[in-house]
Chains A and B, each alone.
Chain A
């Protein structure tokens, strides 16, 4: 990310807060640990110097807009293409009020994963990302050259195809090893932009304690299935999983097989 982009972002944030066009700014700031920036709200124009944007800013800001659009006044939010897709979905589902959001699309070079504070390669979802456009924005900053790693839309389904090609017992074994690692921390649910119900069937106590492999499997069936037709493949769920479970495979399986409801007249 060029330094220029970040400076422009700060300037715009300051300007808009000063003119009273927006009451708050949603962006990233330095987190507790190095290379772990965190989403933050800025209400004071003097604080805007803390706004940060680099390849470590992995958090998707669109989910915070649910909360923000319930507040008084507009919110300025910085979105990358994948975040903008998530926000579109949220607007469609009436979770975010478009009127209350001022959206600035920012350029994206792909986010990197961090292991023990060190950079180690692009995120899986960025490797196969094809989202170059902003489905929704008021203004763009630094988007002139958004390089893309993936060239075709089908690359992201390679993993799914590989699993599909094996036989039922191999698939069972694969998911048994993967999903029995799940500690049911619910990070994947909390981070997901389209996972926003106030009351969830998965919070039922008999389903949560104690975790066992079978229930974990059904937890994941339900989690993925509830995103059917809504998941924007932003990759946040797989990114936050502390156990490294390839959740994107489940989401993409549903995306790949997705057919809209056909109602014949």
Chain B
């Protein structure tokens, strides 16, 4: 089962970088779902947590290089916040490899594609996010019982699908606006 990656990309650099990757026909893994934010500092901790609750296996936050922020200081705040948040999540038992903060400029299409490929591979090595996934809505403490077989896994998919059709969820593309209202 492929892993889901949510990438928060800032409008001015990383999103443009993704665009450049597209126009230069550089392939990056299709599981990467990009959510555009005005600035990387728009990403608050609830966005990251929400992504995990809704079934993401890895979250990457991308912004302009330090000093290049369109709003002058936005990404400095991102750096401080995300480092604290990632540290806290790691402290609470999430694998650090599922979280990444990366600076990608508008001219770095190739870096964007490489980063996404690298990050996806890194998360794939860890597999699905069992500990902090959306299925916890259905079954608490599933960790110990959930070691074998595909049928539990399909059940999880169904559980997640039900959630995805849930009126308030909408699909991943619109999560950028939704997440703000939702949480």
Binds B, one of A51-59, A117-125, A137-145, A206-214: A206-214
Assess whether A263 is interfacial by the CB under 8 Å rule: yes
Assess whether A155 is interfacial by the CB under 8 Å rule: no
Contacts of A228 in B (CB 8 A): 81, 84
In the assembled complex, the Cα of A201 lies from the Cα of B46 at a distance in Å of 9
User: Contact at B95–A168, with CB atoms within 8 Å?
Assistant: yes
Assess whether A180 is interfacial by the CB under 8 Å rule: yes
Which one of B76, B85, B93 contacts A174 once the chains associate, using CB atoms below 8 Å? B93
Contacts of B25 in A (CB 8 A): none
In the assembled complex, the Cα of A259 lies from the Cα of B82 at a distance in Å of 11
State the Cβ distance, A234 to closest chain B Cβ, in Å: 19
User: Contact at A221–B76, with CB atoms within 8 Å?
Assistant: no
User: Contact at A221–B137, with CB atoms within 8 Å?
Assistant: no
User: Contact at B46–A217, with CB atoms within 8 Å?
Assistant: no
State the Cβ distance, B38 to closest chain A Cβ, in Å: 19
Contacts of B158 in A (CB 8 A): none
Contact A212 B136, CB 8 Å, known A222-B49, A260-B80, A264-B66: yes
Contact A221 B140, CB 8 Å, known A259-B83, A261-B77, A261-B80: no
User: Contact at B94–A168, with CB atoms within 8 Å?
Assistant: yes
Contact A172 B49, CB 8 Å, known A214-B140, A225-B85, A264-B67: no
Query: Number of contact residues on B: which range applies?
Result: 35 or more
User: Contact at B80–A218, with CB atoms within 8 Å?
Assistant: no
State the Cβ distance, B4 to closest chain A Cβ, in Å: 17
Which one of B80, B92, B136 contacts A259 once the chains associate, using CB atoms below 8 Å? B80
User: Contact at B183–A207, with CB atoms within 8 Å?
Assistant: yes
Query: Number of contact residues on A: which range applies?
Result: 35 or more
State the Cβ distance, B92 to closest chain A Cβ, in Å: 5
Assess whether A175 is interfacial by the CB under 8 Å rule: yes
State the Cβ distance, A58 to closest chain B Cβ, in Å: 27
State the Cβ distance, A71 to closest chain B Cβ, in Å: 34
Interface residues of B in 137-164 (CB under 8 A from A): 137, 140-141, 143
State the Cβ distance, A255 to closest chain B Cβ, in Å: 10
Q: Which residue on B lies nearest to A207, using beta carbons?
A: B183
Assess whether B117 is interfacial by the CB under 8 Å rule: no
User: Contact at B53–A169, with CB atoms within 8 Å?
Assistant: no
Main secondary structure of the interface of B (DSSP, over half): helix
Contact A258 B84, CB 8 Å, known A172-B131, A214-B132: yes
Assess whether B173 is interfacial by the CB under 8 Å rule: no
State the Cβ distance, A201 to closest chain B Cβ, in Å: 6
User: Contact at A250–B88, with CB atoms within 8 Å?
Assistant: yes
User: Contact at A172–B94, with CB atoms within 8 Å?
Assistant: yes
Which one of B77, B79, B92, B96 contacts A172 once the chains associate, using CB atoms below 8 Å? B92
Contacts of A222 in B (CB 8 A): 45-46, 49
State the Cβ distance, B173 to closest chain A Cβ, in Å: 21
Contacts of A261 in B (CB 8 A): 73, 76-77, 79-80
Contacts of A175 in B (CB 8 A): 92-93
In the assembled complex, the Cα of A175 lies from the Cα of B88 at a distance in Å of 12
In the assembled complex, the Cα of A219 lies from the Cα of B49 at a distance in Å of 10
Contacts of B96 in A (CB 8 A): 168
What is the interface of chain A, defined by CB distance below 8 A to chain B?
Answer: 160, 163-164, 168-176, 180, 201, 204, 206-207, 212-215, 217-218, 220-222, 224-225, 228, 250, 253-254, 257-264
The contact sample of 27 A-B pairs, CB cut-off 8 A, is A169-B93, A170-B93, A172-B143, A175-B93, A180-B140, A180-B141, A212-B137, A212-B140, A213-B141, A217-B132, A220-B92, A221-B45, A221-B89, A222-B45, A222-B49, A225-B45, A225-B84, A250-B88, A250-B91, A250-B92, A254-B87, A257-B87, A260-B80, A261-B77, A261-B80, A263-B73, A264-B67
